[in-house]
Amino acid sequence: MIRIAVPTNRPENVINYLNALTGLGARGEAGRNFDPSGFDGLLLPGGCDIAPSRYGQEKTAEGTVDDELDAIQFAALERFLAAGKPVFGICRGHQLLNVAFGGTLIQHLAGAEHHTGLPGGGDNAHGATIEQGSYLQPIYGDACRVNSSHHQGVDRLGEGLRAVMRAEDGTVEAMEHDSLPVWSVQWHPERMCFAHRREDTADGSLVIRFFLEQCLQQKRG
């Protein structure tokens, strides 16, 4: 069985990710410290804002930061990258990857109302276009609809990262690395599949399955 590390200081916040992995036949484990040798991949989950000091800026936008969570996840990413293991970032994880590779974030999107969660609760949804030749294009085609629950976004891309999906307003919705097994999405595929499947978005399980397939291929050598 594929084992996926999900670094967090609050395991109760990553239940949806663990359930989605289970639904695809993998085993996700939440925790603070992981030895990459015991896992097949790293999933960086969604959550609060990354401290702007991590990308050389003063905090200018409202939003909770968690220095402990930053430390846990940046350290986990460093270890898994060094081990050459596949990494998949979701929402906060997507932004964390960009920062880790030297990029910056937009602390509050100009069109944040199109991306934040709905006033009554739940995720927003919008369309997005996909780059030809990207990892997402064989999965979802040239465009699809995704959910959305964030107020920040990728600004200057980190070294080696390529934007491969964008919302109508230009917000970077997915990235891939040009040489490392690293992929990310700004949306929440774990809330677009199985018990959380939505009729107004694509099936999120497909991109998580892609990540697990990359982990399996590497495991088999």
Catalytic pick among 94, 144, 190, 215? 190
Q: Based on the residue annotation, tell me whether 190 is a catalytic residue of this protein.
A: yes
The DSSP string of 90-146 is: ETHHHHHHHHHTT--EESS-TTGGGTSPPTTSS-EEEEEEE-TTSSSHHHHTTEEEE
Catalytic pick among 91, 144, 193, 215? 91
- Residues 52, 81 contacting (CB under 8 angstroms): no
Catalytic pick among 176, 188, 193, 215? 188
Q: Based on the residue annotation, tell me whether 91 is a catalytic residue of this protein.
A: yes
Instruction: Residue count of the chain, please give it.
Output: 221
Task: Give the residue numbers annotated as catalytic, written as ranges.
Answer: 91, 188, 190
